[in-house]
Amino acid sequence: MNIKLENVKKQFGDTVAIDDISLEFHDGKLTTLLGPSGCGKSTMLNLISGILPVTSGKIYFGDRDVTSLSPDKRNIGLVFQNYALYPHMKVWENIAFPLEIKKVPKNERKERAYEFAKLLRIEEYFERKPSQLSGGQQQRVAIARALAKEPEILLLDEPLSNLDARLRLEMREEIRRIQLETGITTVFVTHDQEEAMSISDHIVLMKKGEIQQHGLPQELYDEPCNVFVADFLGNPPINLITAVKSGNKAVTEDGVSFFSEGLNNVSDGRKLILGIRSEAFEVLKKDEPGYINSTPAEVKAVFMNGKDVLYSLSVGSMEIRAGFSNNEIYRQGDKLKIALKKKGVHVYDFDTGEKIG
């Protein structure tokens, strides 16, 4: 089921939590609302669910205008961070609870609950009480319960936040598996960029009630439209370097030069921010072309990472994160000549933070 927001606005008193957003969530896809705390992710989810009324604008599920429908009429499944299972009910009764409200007969309820318990791989706990389950198992019950009434849309608000790191990784893969198996249109809220990158078809990156950029995860990573997006996505974080355009290079305050093709269309003297991914650096040797335009750097720290190696380099007075393959491993104190590759280098206007090259 396609979800469409049309000029949706939500205000709490003077606080504009959602600022005139128009957006489509595509049928059968998993879309993630991503952004820092307070950017409006939960508010947007609660507007879609109907828990909160919009201040203005329209919400459509397919062709149906649901703007003024109550949550129970929207045919949605909801899962929150604190999963709120009924402690006195068994696992299967929790899963089947929405069906009881729908007046489905008891034996059919139990059958359907079993189906969804199997989908979530918790059928062996069917007769247990929630208190006899781990956090991850309880969260699976909550997801099974949300799915049991066969909603057209699944809404998940930070469902993994209460789980430890390992379980969190497992559960996010589970959520993706279930979403793909059922094909249910899903909106998933998280502030964890890595989680968002790994499981989403689409990412909507928000800041202060506005969309900064939305698209495929790889699009946001490869082509961040402004400094905020560039900085929010990626681990290790992108290097952000203030410089001034001069000829075919960008020169920092302490006189370090970076040469990049991305600077070609930028006017001379313009103040800018270079966004450079750690993987966009390469080490040049004396006999390699481009050596003359390389930038001197010294290895400050080495972080082994299996297939590649992350370095902290000092370049002028700056500390820069650079990753190189493990073909050759440098040591602390090594002096290198580094250059920029074409991919992973972004040029932003210093004042607006918008991409200019």
C-alpha–C-alpha distance, residues 50 and 59, integer Å? 10
Stretch that binds ligand ATP, among 32-40, 109-117, 131-139, 312-320 (CB under 6 A): 32-40
C-alpha–C-alpha distance, residues 79 and 189, integer Å? 10
Out of 42, 46, 94, 200, point to the residue binding Mg ion (CB under 5 A): 42
Q: Which is nearer to Mg ion, 206 or 256 (CB)?
A: 206
Task: Please say whether the beta carbons of 46 and 59 come within 8 A.
Answer: no
- Binding of residue 185 to Mg ion (CB under 5 A): no
- Binding of residue 42 to ligand ATP (CB under 6 A): yes
User: Residues 215-234 vs ligand ATP: string with x where CB under 6 A?
Assistant: --------------------
- Binding of residue 160 to ligand ATP (CB under 6 A): no
Q: Which is nearer to ligand ATP, 130 or 209 (CB)?
A: 209
Q: Which is nearer to ligand ATP, 46 or 179 (CB)?
A: 46
Stretch that binds ligand ATP, among 31-39, 103-111, 115-123, 138-146 (CB under 6 A): 31-39
Q: Which is nearer to ligand ATP, 54 or 297 (CB)?
A: 54
User: Residues 183-202 vs ligand ATP: string with x where CB under 6 A?
Assistant: --------x-----------
C-alpha–C-alpha distance, residues 329 and 308, integer Å? 9
Out of 15, 70, 332, 352, point to the residue binding ligand ATP (CB under 6 A): 15
Q: SS in 3 state form for the chain?
A: CCEEEEEEEEEECCEEEEEEEEEEECCCCEEEEECCCCCCHHHHHHHHHCCCCCCEEEEEECCEECCCCCHHHCCEEEECCCCCCCCCCCHHHHHHHHHHHCCCCHHHHHHHHHHHHHHCCCHHHCCCCHHHCCHHHHHHHHHHHHHHCCCCEEEEECCCCCCCHHHHHHHHHHHHHHHHHHCCEEEEEECCHHHHHHHCCEEEEEECCEEEEEECHHHHHHCCCEHHHHHHCCCCCCEEEEEEEECCEEECCCCCEEECHHHCCCCCCCEEEEEECHHHEEECCCCCCCHHHCEEEEEEEEEEECCEEEEEEEECCEEEEEEEECCCCCCCCCEEEEEECCCCEEEEECCCCEECC
- Binding of residue 38 to ligand ATP (CB under 6 A): yes
Out of 32, 43, 186, 226, point to the residue binding ligand ATP (CB under 6 A): 43
Q: Which is nearer to ligand ATP, 177 or 208 (CB)?
A: 208
C-alpha–C-alpha distance, residues 239 and 340, integer Å? 12
- Binding of residue 40 to ligand ATP (CB under 6 A): yes
Q: Which does 262 bind (CB under 5 to 8 A by kind): ligand ATP, Mg ion, none?
A: none
Q: Which does 296 bind (CB under 5 to 8 A by kind): Mg ion, ligand ATP, none?
A: none
Site size toward ligand ATP (CB under 6 A) is 12
Q: Which does 274 bind (CB under 5 to 8 A by kind): Mg ion, ligand ATP, none?
A: none
Stretch that binds ligand ATP, among 12-20, 92-100, 269-277, 294-302 (CB under 6 A): 12-20
Q: Which is nearer to Mg ion, 42 or 139 (CB)?
A: 42
The residue ranges that bind Mg ion (CB under 5 A) are 42
The residue ranges that bind ligand ATP (CB under 6 A) are 12, 15, 17, 35, 37-43, 191
